[in-house]
Amino acid sequence: MPEGDTVWHTAATLREHLAGRTLTRCDVRVPKFATVDLTGQVIDEVVSRGKHLFIRVGQASIHSHLKMDGSWRVGNRPVRVDHRTRIILEAGPIRAIGVDLGVLEILEREHESEAVAHLGPDLLGPDWDAPLAAANLAAQPDRPIAEALLDQRVLAGIGNVYCNELCFVTGHLPTAPVAAIADPRRLVSRARDMLWLNRFRWNRCTTGDTRQGRQLWVYGRAGENCRRCGTRIRRDDSGERVAYWCPACQV
């Protein structure tokens, strides 16, 4: 499931392969932008902002959002292309394809910031602002913690995996109100630490144990024993997002 760390890692991988190269093919398979051809222009940089990714090419910016199932694949040709492909970029022997992208649009580079102007502080951004993120989080004290953490306007980069894991390590039920958080600054700093430590991994880890099946505290572990107390992990999928928690550790 793509979250801020996955997008950051994706941007770093694309940047490693494409930055400084000239496009030899640009095939956009989204009707609104199908006539756009950036062939012959140089890819200057690839950056992420929360869960958004920008490939800057000349005066244009290729903006994508992975949503639930999207991905970018890059490497020496051939990289497989199928009906899920939304864009193909080639720079000599390098091919990058965007697959099942939830958002793909070509923007004027000078206006790309408008697409992410609504976002809160980026957990993996160079301008990360913990006091502002904490203030955003505390602004609606009656709001459920999980709902607030998943709101990208509060802070950008947290998805459902990190949301559930953060609630566990801070001892709060996902449904508890934000007012229950004694130190919002500490919570957002913990969130930043989690994403920062996972930014080079495809398989994220929040427990400190990277062995298969040991990486997460509660997410995806319904019915299994809590790693701390042994109580069975519970799951609730009645809302928009699935929640996991330990009824003994999270009160």
Mean pLDDT score across all residues of the chain: 96
* Alpha carbons 133 and 249: distance in angstroms, whole number: 25
pLDDT band at 78 (very low <50, low <70, confident <90, very high): confident
> Domain for residue 125, yes or no?
no
Q: What is the pLDDT of residue 194?
A: 97
| Domain final position from 116, 141, 169 | 116
Contact (Cβ atoms closer than 8 angstroms) between residue 172 and residue 180:
yes
Residues 134 and 241 in one domain: yes
> Domain for residue 163, yes or no?
yes
Residues 112 and 72 in one domain: yes
Residues 139 and 234 in one domain: yes
Residues 87 and 23 in one domain: yes
Residues 187 and 93 in one domain: no
Mark whether 2 is an active-site residue.
yes
Residue 251, pLDDT above cutoff 90: no
pLDDT tens digit string along 213-242? 999 999 999 999 999 999 999 999 988 899
* Alpha carbons 202 and 207: distance in angstroms, whole number: 15
Residues 98 and 146 in one domain: no
Q: Which of 15, 51, 204, 221 is catalytic?
A: 51
Residues 90 and 139 in one domain: no
Residue 79, pLDDT above cutoff 90: no
Contact (Cβ atoms closer than 8 angstroms) between residue 119 and residue 70:
no
Residue 1, pLDDT above cutoff 70: no
Residues 233 and 188 in one domain: yes
First to last CA, the chain: 27
Residue 46, pLDDT above cutoff 90: yes
> Domain for residue 64, yes or no?
yes
Q: Which CATH number goes with the domain that contains 72?
A: 3.20.190.10
Mark whether 67 is an active-site residue.
no
> Domain for residue 26, yes or no?
yes
Mark whether 241 is an active-site residue.
yes
Residues 106 and 135 in one domain: no
Q: Which of 2, 121, 144, 184 is catalytic?
A: 2
pLDDT band at 77 (very low <50, low <70, confident <90, very high): confident
| Domain final position from 116, 140, 165 | 116
Q: Which CATH number goes with the domain that contains 191?
A: 1.10.8.50
Full-model pTM: 0.94
Residues 224 and 136 in one domain: yes
| Domain final position from 116, 141, 159 | 116
Q: What total of structural domains would you count in the chain?
A: 2
Question: Which amino acid is it at 239?
Answer: G
pLDDT tens digit string along 134-190? 999 999 999 999 999 999 999 999 999 999 999 999 999 999 999 999 999 999 999
* Domain enclosing residue 37, as ranges: 4-116
Q: Which of 109, 185, 227, 241 is catalytic?
A: 241
> Domain for residue 122, yes or no?
no
Q: Which of 3, 90, 112, 147 is catalytic?
A: 3
> Domain for residue 201, yes or no?
yes
